[in-house]
């Protein structure tokens, strides 16, 4: 890690990156923003913009259940519950008995209420309140390893499932007629989102995770002229917004997550204007 720190200290022209915690945050965003940028494109295409919001809220319930079951590792509890929650949402959505936004809203409100109920017992919620806004500056070298692993696995699955996912988002019936197991593909996708959300929730926060997943993808869709351009724009904008927001948060002495979201919102506004001018 010292060698990486030395390289970053040399190539980054900002005084903010003389500190190791800022370098860790920088590396985390290099891994995290492409991950969220890619997954965000399909979340937008599948009209599941608030899906990550429901999963973010479920992190609270996962931690609460982990405490009840005696699990010492919060991340394991969040991952297990988040994956189960995501699959349940997907299965009920696929049943067609309820609209997608209604299903997501029900699961989101239920998970946040259950999480608060469990964690607030005995006035202990303050210990977990940091999950609401996250802290990217708290990333450790060990955390970077898990983010790298998640990114590599996601890229492999993305390469294998991109065309089936895209066709499923356009027309599930057409996808099935082509021999694509649309329901299985969609379940794999929501599990990928669940893992990404749970891995990043401690640094991004429950209140901001949905914005970081959706805003770059929405901005990229305004600028793209094809599906592949959409993915490229989404990843590029996510990286740009993440690094600019992190740098500004140091000099402005503000929350890194909130700064990144506001920069992302500005990019979306600009992309929307560009789309209108084109139109």
Residue range 89-113, pLDDT digits in tens: 888 888 877 777 788 888 888 888 8
253: left (phi over 0), alpha (psi -120 to 50) or beta: left
What is the average per-residue pLDDT within 27-39?
90
- Per-residue confidence (pLDDT) for residue 227, from 0 to 100: 85
* 67-102: burial string, b at 16+ Cβ within 10 Å, e else: beeebeebbebbbbbbbebbeebbebbeeeeeebee
Average confidence score pLDDT of the chain: 84
**Alpha helices in 46-99, H assignment, sequence order:** 51-69, 74-95
Looking at per-residue pLDDT, the higher value among 67 and 28 belongs to 28
Give the helix ranges, DSSP H, for 120-208. 130-133, 141-170, 172-177, 182-204
Between 72 and 104, residue with greater pLDDT: 104
pLDDT of residue 123: 63
Please report where in the chains the tokens 């089936």 appear, as a residue.
164
Classify residue 57 by burial, with Cβ atoms within 10 Å: 0-12, 13-18, 19+. Answer: buried
- Given phi > 0 = left and psi -120 to 50 = alpha, else beta, which region is 124? alpha
At 225, give phi and psi (nearest 5°): -115, 0
| Residue-level pLDDT at 200 | 84
User: CATH homologous superfamily for 17-205?
Assistant: ABC transporter involved in vitamin B12 uptake, BtuC (1.10.3470.10)
pLDDT of residue 258: 87
Cβ neighbors of 46 (< 8 A, separation 6 or more) are: 168, 169, 186, 189
Angle between helix axes 100-119 and 74-95 (nearest 10 degrees) is 150
Q: Give Cα separations from 193 to 33, 86, 133, 204, 205 (angstroms).
A: 13, 8, 19, 14, 15
Confidence of residue 1 (pLDDT cuts 50, 70, 90): low
pLDDT band at 255 (very low <50, low <70, confident <90, very high): confident
Per-residue confidence (pLDDT) for residue 122, from 0 to 100: 61
- Residues in Cβ contact with 158 at an 8 Å cutoff, skipping those fewer than 6 apart: 38
Instruction: Compute the Cα dihedral for 21, 242, 40, 207 and give only its sign.
Output: positive
């Amino acid at each position: 890690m010292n060698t990486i720190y030395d390289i970053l200290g040399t190539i980054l022209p900002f005084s903010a990156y003389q500190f190791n915690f800022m370098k860790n945050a920088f590396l985390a965003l290099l891994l995290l923003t492409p991950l969220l940028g890619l997954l965000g494109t399909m979340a937008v295409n599948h009209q599941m913009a608030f899906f990550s919001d429901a999963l973010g809220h479920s992190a609270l319930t996962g931690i609460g259940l982990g405490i009840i079951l005696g699990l010492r590792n919060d991340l394991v509890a969040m991952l297990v519950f988040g994956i189960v929650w995501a699959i349940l949402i997907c299965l009920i959505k696929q049943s067609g008995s309820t609209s997608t936004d209604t299903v997501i809203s029900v699961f989101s409100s239920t998970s946040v209420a259950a999480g608060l109920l469990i964690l607030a017992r005995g006035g202990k919620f303050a210990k977990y309140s940091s999950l609401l806004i996250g802290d990217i500056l708290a990333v450790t070298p060990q955390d970077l390893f898990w983010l790298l692993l998640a990114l590599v696995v996601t890229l492999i699955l993305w390469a294998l499932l991109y065309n089936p996912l895209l066709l499923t988002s356009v027309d599930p019936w057409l996808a099935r007629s082509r021999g694509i197991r649309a329901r299985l593909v969609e379940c794999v996708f929501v599990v990928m989102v669940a893992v990404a959300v749970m891995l990043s929730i401690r640094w991004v926060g429950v209140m901001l995770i949905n914005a970081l997943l959706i805003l770059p993808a929405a901005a990229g869709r305004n600028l793209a002229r094809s599906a592949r351009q959409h993915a490229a724009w989404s990843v590029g904008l996510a990286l740009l917004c993440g690094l600019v927001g992190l740098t500004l948060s140091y000099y402005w002495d503000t929350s890194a997550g909130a700064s990144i979201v506001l920069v992302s919102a500005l990019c979306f506004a600009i992309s929307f204007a560009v789309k209108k001018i084109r139109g």
